[in-house]
Amino acid sequence: MAERTTVNTMKIEIAGLCGCLLAAGHVGLAAGPALTIKDTIGREWVNEPIVWELPDAKGDAVRLERDGRPIPAQVVAFDGGVRVLFVIDRLAKDAATTVTAEFGRPGTADTDLKVTKENDALVLANKHTAVRVNRGGTDSFSPILGVRTPSGKWTGGGAYRTTSAKPVGLRTELLERGPVRLAARVATTFDNGRTHVVTVALRSGSHSIEVDETFNVGPDDKYRFKPFENDRDELAWEWWSWYGDRDGTEETHPNNWILRLDDVELAQRSARFRGQFGVDTDLYVAVPSEAKLFRDMFVHNQCEPIVSSRHRARFQEPFSEKQVLCRVEGRPDSGFLVAFFPYKPDEPRPAIGNWLGDKGVKITWKNETHFVLLDTTEHEVNADGIRAKTACLVVKVTDPQNFSLCLPTGGEATFRGQSLGGAGPRELLVVASKPHTSSGTDLIKEAR
């Protein structure tokens, strides 16, 4: 999600992961407009796309220099000015850089972007990926005919599956030709006079293809946005989650988490969800301690046709469902540590609290006690009879003869005379005083 920051007579839009916490400044140089960009979040930037908005500026050519070195740039006109597109390939943590623009002078055109024509397709490509855009094929009228994967193989295209209206024609325009971004727009017309418009964009050096679409095909009583009477209603559909946190060690954006059930009771840092299917759930916010909880609700009638037909057959009325949401608002500089514990409505509620400060939780329920440590860095643990050196730990205790000790990310641990250790996932299960050890698979390492 991009954020725009107005700076004097200019505007800068940071379009990538780091964008929401960047600082921009205006430097008045005789050679032309200048922009100073500084890292304020304490991490290195890599291939960060920038949109620099310059009201009242004119021209379709620009020479852009970063700290005196030419870099590729692209001009996109809009009503009242232009936007200059460019990429910050690297910016060290806590560093700053200055970009100057000189309009009317050609700049460097070094790019990996390429546009080619293939039969009825327009191919937008860079060194990492490519997309085939329909420019006349009427077999399926699909705006996108395929995507090139990292292996070099192409996927298939899409197709329209409509019942009330059929596609009858399309028009394709190449909107942007690089060297920073390619963009093409496909407008599909239907036999009811309505349209489906898809804009496909690909940036230099990017692994991602951006797709934006709008449509008014109808039927109007079925395809429409949920109306909101106030801002609180709209918040039921909005949330932030781990935006900008690439390595899992640092949160760089405000967060909200949403859990949908039938009803919810809020406390200072916990919530009880009363489920629709005979299962209640307790939520406990361990981190941040000052988190705010909000309750939102809406009713909708959207579901798969098979669900709708079965619901009508059983209850003799149209399908509808109430959604109750608990929104947990955190801090801009930290993530979440939240515990969820499900149980039946006639069972006692668990007692949940922090354990090891802000690094874990302790859960007591019936005759069981669970100790959970969850972090990204290793800790020395000496609490409640548990001695360990690890970043992640789960201990479940029923009685002195029945308990389990788990190290999901490896490490060392000792509890009630039993020891466990290893470089990968390890578990010790003690049943009737008899221990059994097993090893797991590091799924993150396997995925890599």
Do residues 49 and 94 both lie within one domain? yes
Check residue 325 and give its pLDDT.
74
The answer as to whether 290 is a domain residue is yes
The answer as to whether 173 is a domain residue is yes
Residue at which a domain ends, from 325, 343, 361:
343
Ranges under pLDDT 50 in the chain: 1-30, 234-262
Residue span of the structural domain in which 386 resides:
351-447
Do residues 388 and 371 both lie within one domain? yes
d(CA 95, CA 43): 9
Check residue 310 and give its pLDDT.
76
Check residue 394 and give its pLDDT.
95
Q: How far is CA 284 from the centre of its chain?
A: 23
Three-state helix/strand/coil letters over the chain: CCEEEEECCEEEEECCCCHHHEEEEECCECCECEEEEEECCCCCEEEEEEEEEEECCCCCCEEEEECCEEECCEEEEECCEEEEEEEEEEECCCCEEEEEEEECCCCCCCCCCEEEEECCEEEEECCCCEEEEECCCCCCCCCEEEEECCCCCECCCCCCCCCCCCEEEEEEEEEEECCCEEEEEEEEEECCCCEEEEEEEEECCCCCEEEEEEECCCCCCCCCCCCCCCHHHHHCCCCCCCCCCCCCCCCCCCCEEEEEECEEEECCCEEEEECCCCCEEEEEEEECCCCEEEEEEEEECCCCHHHHHHHHHHHCCCCCEEEEEEEEECCCCCCCEEEEEEECCCCCCCEEEEECCCCEEEEEECCEEEEEEEEEEEEEEEECCEEEEEEEEEEEEEECCEEEEEECCCEEEEECCEEEEECCCEEEEEECCEEEEEECCCHHHHHC
Do residues 307 and 370 both lie within one domain? no
Do residues 368 and 417 both lie within one domain? yes
Do residues 239 and 177 both lie within one domain? no
The answer as to whether 220 is a domain residue is no
The answer as to whether 406 is a domain residue is yes
Contact 148, 154 (CB under 8 A): yes
Do residues 137 and 45 both lie within one domain? no
Residue at which a domain ends, from 103, 135, 162:
103
The answer as to whether 315 is a domain residue is yes
Placement of tokens 């960009």 in the chain: 37
Q: Residues near 369 by Cβ (< 8 Å), separated by ≥ 6?
A: 362, 363, 396, 397
Check residue 68 and give its pLDDT.
87
Check residue 368 and give its pLDDT.
94
How many structural domains does the chain have? 4
Check residue 418 and give its pLDDT.
94
The answer as to whether 108 is a domain residue is no
Do residues 435 and 377 both lie within one domain? yes
Do residues 301 and 381 both lie within one domain? no
The answer as to whether 226 is a domain residue is no
Do residues 368 and 413 both lie within one domain? yes
Do residues 314 and 236 both lie within one domain? yes
The answer as to whether 222 is a domain residue is no
d(CA 48, CA 287): 30
Residue at which a domain ends, from 62, 79, 103:
103
Do residues 28 and 95 both lie within one domain? yes
CATH of the domain at 87: 2.60.40.1180
Do residues 248 and 205 both lie within one domain? no
